[in-house]
Amino acid sequence: MSKQRVSRAFMLVAAASLLLCSAPGALAGDCSATVHGTMTRDEPDGDITRLVFEVEIGTKSNCAEINYDVILEIRQEDGKIEKKKLGRYVKLHDGSMLERVRHELGGGQSLVTWEVKLDSCKECY
């Protein structure tokens, strides 16, 4: 192998190494997060009912962009069930936080079921 080929090969390897080390997310670990919710209040106020959910979000990642949903099944006045998805976003650094999610039900509506579900977790910098 000629010196010119060895030199080019070395330069290509060096350039690739530099790109891998400097590209965001190139060597990123897995992003993992947890979400857990509790309904803390159900306050009737005239024709509306205010619902308050406390959602605990946690991650062990240095920085995580977390999307989660509070999914409600609501019985309408006419008896039909409607699904409502309340999409949420948080940016969290290695730890946990508590977030309150509020929703109002109109007159004649009632909450059938609800759940909190992790949608995605993405490493951030």
Q: Residues 42-67: pLDDT tens digits? A: 888 888 999 999 999 999 999 999 99
Residue 61 burial (CB < 10 Å; 0-12/13-18/19+)? buried
With a pLDDT cut of 70, the percent of the chain lying above it is 77
Mean per-residue pLDDT, 15-31? 46
Mean per-residue pLDDT, 8-30? 44
pLDDT at 56: 98
pLDDT at 46: 86
Q: Residues 87-104: pLDDT tens digits? A: 999 999 989 999 999 999
For the chain, give every domain's residue range: 1-29, 31-123
Assign 105 a pLDDT band (cuts: 50, 70, 90): very high
Note the CATH architecture for domain 31-123: Sandwich (2.60)
pLDDT at 43: 82
More confident residue, 80 or 3: 80
Q: What is the 3-state secondary structure (H, E, C) of 15-61?
A: HHHHHHHHCCCCCCCCCCEEEEEEEEEEEEECCEEEEEEEEEEEECC
The residue assigned the tokens 């998805």 is 85
Q: Which two tokens stand for residue 123?
A: 């490493």
Could you give the angle at the alpha carbon of 78 between the alpha carbons of 77 and 81, nearest 5°? 85
Assign 10 a pLDDT band (cuts: 50, 70, 90): very low
pTM of the shown model = 0.72
pLDDT at 24: 41
